[in-house]
Chains A and B, each alone.
Chain A
Amino acid sequence: MTTASLRLALVGAPNTGKTSLFNRLTGSSQKVANYPGVTVERKSGGFVTPEGRSVTVLDLPGTYSLRGRSPDEEITRDIVLGRFDGEAVPDLVLCVADATNLRLTLRLVLELKRVGRPMMLVLNMIDIAKRRGVTIDLDRMSQELGLPIVTAVAVRKGGVDELLQRTDEFLARSHEATASEWATPTIADLKAAQREADRIIAAAVTLPTKPDTLTNRIDSVVLHPVWGLVILAVILFVMFQAVFTWAQPAMELLSDGFSALGQLIHDLLPESWSLLQSFLQNGLISGVGSVIVFLPQIIIIFLFILLLEDFGYMARAAFLMDRIMGGAGLHGRAFIPLLSSFACAIPGIMATRVIDNRRDRLTTILIAPLMTCSARIPVYTLIISAFVPATSLWGFVNLQGLVMFGLYAAGITSALTVSAIAKFFLWRDHAPAPFMLELPDYKVPRLRSIAIGVLNRAKMFLYRAGTTILSMMVLIWFLASFPTAPAGAEGPAINYSFAAMIGHALEPLLRPIGFNWQIAVALIPGMAAREVAVAALGTVYSIEGGKEAAEQIGQVLAQKWTLATALSMLVWYIFAPQCASTLAVIRRETGGAKWMVVTFLYMLALAYAASFLTFNLAQALGLH
């Protein structure tokens, strides 16, 4: 038993701090993958106990019961029951409970007990419970439940020592699983279990005479019918201003670093190796560099999302938005997936699994790509900084930030409109799905957990920059460099390349919306990832205009594009289905190509129509 590593599974209701416990146990040794055949995130990690035994931990999706109402909850049920193909049965089930809020978890514990697996109850956030005056008679509760209980403070260093020790003790003994008595509970079962849970709580827990009023006091402002919405708007506004202004110094540093590196490589190589020089400096370093520059912004946006989630605000936002989104045919729960789509539509679309009604989920998936994802930021910032002056309005609003805010607002408005239209045409007879959500007590955000979360996202982004984007950059450099210009040819060499041929072929189609052939060339690799278009424009223009231009793509664009073209390009990027991975995820999540094709076509049609309008209107207004 000591040689093989112990398999531990974390189970618990939402908001019990299960993820921070997982983060505390496994630190940065986490692997995030997908369960085979489904798109539910599989989070695993490992640690070594004080006595040197190795343990692998599986963080199962949060659930209130084993009924399995959504794909996530089915995974939890099937793994706990040992029915999941390709996943070993856990040796020990750790049921995580919020010590301040035991009612719902204890019912789940009673249900899990019927499964018959070796189990331990972890009372997390015991420090908060103590501070609030909740006293728990652990011996009594352990006796009533017939389970070992440990307390933990996942957010504090050393807060899981007891858990580690008890895991060692558990390993020292041998454990037999008993036969599972679990069957899908009926209403009567659920009620009986809840009554039993309430009885145990009454016997073992003393609640404070004065309940926690802080959460209530915060909520009376944050959930206020008027002030609540004002606060939500302010939070979103600050978030987008921050993405624009806070990230600036770090971005300039990265950008300067990459151009210095490119120049260094250029100078180190002998002049006779001009092809390699050009490949390394213009293709590789400036290409990848121009994407990595946006890392600070991605970190800031995820920092905001994770902070708000950890604080407990996300559920409140869903509460505030439920009716407003309901007017557009959306479920309140769609708010979190849609908000995640501001970072990237892929996690957003994957997060729609919390919506258990299929039609609500499809609507959310259809419009998630309209939310301004972080991959659009490079394109937006490039064009905005080239064409919009950095003046400030009324002393505190940055005009560039305001335009950015406008682009986000346009994305949101169009998403709501599309949703309303979809509701009207696709499922007219569809009654709204229920909205039922626990509003957890506010908690001080757990910085370590957030740091791990942000780090994971940053890694994912860098991985993308290092693989997909890198290979696309090599491809576009190749397309833009070959075939080489014939000897004695006039004009820039790129005019003779494959890229020019493709660009010229597409140009007639894109001319009505103001795009030149260089944009047409950049849009092709931009299908792999939106931000590649920026690097592609850089490559196309820098090869055309010499090495000075590579450092200032924006300046070049300001010279070569009219304002009408720039605006048309911005509008194009609000709508265009320029992301192959998003389309692939839609296909996977909806179980077929149909909705992927629908998404691609409707977004393309919207993009073309909106850009056509914008370009012609701008020209009519004389914006050249």
Chain B
Amino acid sequence: MTGDPNCSQDNLQDIRLGHADRGFVGKIIRLDALVTGSSLSPQELEQRLVEMGFVEGARVEILHEGTIRRDPIAVRVDNITIALRRSEAMAVIVE
């Protein structure tokens, strides 16, 4: 994962979903696609995340992790499950 963001977190409660471990349960506070390791432009990444249901207020839970470097992750977003890489999950700020 390149371009690992140096956690510009607003307060201690906020975590990037890409850093969270399996079993993490939280709520989406906002999307911040400016500093991620994703190859997509921030705007495109944000659009795709929204299309997959990652919107403010949604409940998220990390259900599964991949074999290599615990990547990708399977995230329960409200009542659907989305698989994505940690580099893209960095854009999702959760608490």
Which A residues have a C-beta under 8 Å from some C-beta of B? 64-65, 67, 101, 103-104, 107, 187, 190-191, 194-195, 198, 207, 211, 215-216, 219-220, 223-226, 228-229, 315, 318-320, 322-324, 327, 332, 357, 430-441
Contact with A along B62-95 (1 / 0, CB 8 A): 0111111111101000111111110110000000
> Known contacts A67-B47, A225-B70, A437-B82; can you find 8 more A-B pairs with CB under 8 A?
A191-B56, A226-B67, A319-B74, A320-B66, A322-B71, A434-B87, A436-B88, A438-B52
Q: Name the distance in Å between B52's Cβ and chain A's nearest Cβ.
A: 6
Q: Is the CB of A225 within 8 A of B63?
A: no
Q: Is the CB of A315 within 8 A of B63?
A: no
Q: Is the CB of A229 within 8 A of B67?
A: yes
Q: Is the CB of B69 within 8 A of A323?
A: yes
Q: Restricting to B38-72, which residues have a CB under 8 Å from any CB of A? A: 38-40, 43, 45-53, 55-56, 63-72
Q: Name the distance in Å between B79's Cβ and chain A's nearest Cβ.
A: 7
Q: Is the CB of A323 within 8 A of B71?
A: yes
Q: Is the CB of B83 within 8 A of A64?
A: no
Q: Is the CB of A434 within 8 A of B80?
A: no
Q: A220-B64, A226-B67, A434-B38 are in contact. Are A190 and B50 (CB under 8 A)?
A: yes
Which B residues have a C-beta under 8 Å from some C-beta of A? 2, 38-40, 43, 45-53, 55-56, 63-72, 74, 78-85, 87-88
Q: Is the CB of A64 within 8 A of B52?
A: yes
Q: Is the CB of B46 within 8 A of A323?
A: no
Determine which of A103, A315, A319, A433 lies in contact with B53 in the assembled complex, contact meaning CB atoms within 8 Å.
Answer: A103
Q: Is the CB of A318 within 8 A of B83?
A: yes
Q: Is the CB of B83 within 8 A of A219?
A: no
Q: What 5 A-B pairs come out closest when comparing CB atoms?
A: A431-B39, A323-B68, A223-B64, A225-B67, A439-B81
The 28 sampled A-B contact pairs (Cβ below 8 Å) are A187-B43, A190-B51, A191-B56, A194-B53, A207-B79, A215-B81, A219-B74, A220-B64, A223-B63, A226-B67, A228-B67, A319-B83, A323-B72, A324-B68, A327-B68, A332-B83, A434-B39, A434-B84, A434-B87, A435-B85, A436-B49, A436-B52, A436-B82, A436-B84, A438-B52, A438-B81, A439-B74, A439-B82
Closest chain A residue, CB of each to CB of B67: A225
Q: Which residues of A contact B69 (CB under 8 A)?
A: 323
Q: Which residues of B contact A103 (CB under 8 A)?
A: 53, 78-80
Q: Which residues of A contact B87 (CB under 8 A)?
A: 434
Q: Which residues of B contact A216 (CB under 8 A)?
A: 63
Closest chain B residue, CB of each to CB of A103: B53
Complex Cα distance, B55 from A440, in Å, reads 19
Q: Name the distance in Å between B38's Cβ and chain A's nearest Cβ.
A: 6
Closest chain B residue, CB of each to CB of A216: B63
Q: Is the CB of B80 within 8 A of A320?
A: no
Q: Is the CB of A104 within 8 A of B2?
A: no
Q: Which residues of B contact A67 (CB under 8 A)?
A: 47
Complex Cα distance, B46 from A207, in Å, reads 28
Q: Name the distance in Å between A266's Cβ and chain B's nearest Cβ.
A: 59
Complex Cα distance, B1 from A432, in Å, reads 10
Q: A187-B46, A431-B2, A434-B40 are in contact. Are A211 and B53 (CB under 8 A)?
A: no
Q: Which residues of B contact A64 (CB under 8 A)?
A: 51-52
Complex Cα distance, B87 from A318, in Å, reads 17
Q: Is the CB of A104 within 8 A of B40?
A: no
Q: Which residues of B contact A440 (CB under 8 A)?
A: 81
Q: Which of A219, A224, A436 counts the most B-chain CB atoms under 10 A from its CB?
A: A436
Q: Which residues of B contact A441 (CB under 8 A)?
A: 81
Q: A187-B43, A319-B74 are in contact. Are A194 and B50 (CB under 8 A)?
A: yes
Q: Which residues of B contact A191 (CB under 8 A)?
A: 50, 55-56
Q: Which residues of B contact A432 (CB under 8 A)?
A: 39, 85
